Amino acid sequence: MAFFSMRQVLDEAAKGGYGVGAFNVNNMEQIQAIMEAARETKSPVIIQASRGARSYSQDKFLYHLMLAANELYPEIPLVMHLDHGNSVETCKSAIDLGFTSVMMDGSLMPDGKTPASFDHNVKTTREVVEMGHAKGVTVEGEIGVLGGVEDGHGAGGSGLEHVTDPDQAVEFVERTGVDALAIAIGTSHGAYKFSKKPDGSVLKMGVLLEIHKRLPKVHLVMHGSSSVPKELQDVINKYGGHLKETWGVPIEEIQLGIRNGVRKINVDTDNRLAITGAIRKVFAESPEKFDPRDYLKPAREAMKKVVAERMVQFGQAGHAGDLREPVSLAEMAKKYAQAVVGV
């Protein structure tokens, strides 16, 4: 079975009023954890890789792991997505490899750190949209800048320095033709998102609601949306870690977003915490262990548990069967050319 385009999956999610988790991967165990969670919950899923992940795993290894996942779990609608492409060239390399969806993050310059001008963002994103749509590939863009740094990508800061302007969001969508729009509402990459449980002063859900009001048919994306549960932090610290107290994005706020146009929710930190806690536990309780399988199996299971929980919370559980067959990229390209796919 071919990979699904993200546009097909998000269109279906919009019909059903649910969100779809997009989970980052770097290795085989993470892919296995996500696919097992998807099978257990009967969920469609977006698996995404950043530039850092592609470098770490090497493109061919990563792509063939994804092919294996698609072959072994034929009942699961699966999207292969590039997270935070920093340039047109990066997005092109992902499309050429076989990704069915790419994100052009033109909100930052190619260094992945310096905030870009609005015109630069429009220009580079539009170029990727034209290139991607010609091949039937979904394109996500971003307006506004998230806080924090993860995998070497990010402008740092709290996430409140470059909150998305709703007026610019409308203009950006009109000028680029993106399939999905990532917005900045105070969230950040990494574990240290908020120093207290977030409220309206740091998590600008009102901005999201306003953007959805103005762009009701646009698939919105929440980045930096790990919830950073205290119980995952506690496991790490119990077994020798030194995480500072921190808060993530509350599930109820994500669910509010889903009720107001959010269709893709990016989760990475929660899975990293689950894996790290499980490995630390094995090392602390069984210091004689040295077989990687002895600690990677519980790490994989811990991540699976978190992913399955998010799939239920985002509402995608039970919806794998809604997407029977993938629309081919060639057919998607025809639809884009005929302007029968668009926001």
- H-type helices in the chain, by residue range? 6-16, 28-41, 51-57, 59-72, 88-97, 118-133, 166-176, 205-214, 230-238, 251-258, 269-285, 292-314, 329-337
Whole-number Å distance between alpha carbons of 14 and 44 = 13
Q: Which residues are catalytic?
A: 83
Task: Of 274, 290, 286, 287, give the one whose Cα is nearest residue 234.
Answer: 274
Q: Which long-range contacts (CB under 8 A, 24 or more apart) does 56-59 make?
A: 56/26, 57/26, 57/27, 59/93, 59/97
CA distances from 151 to 25, 49, 145, 269, 340 (A): 12, 11, 16, 11, 36
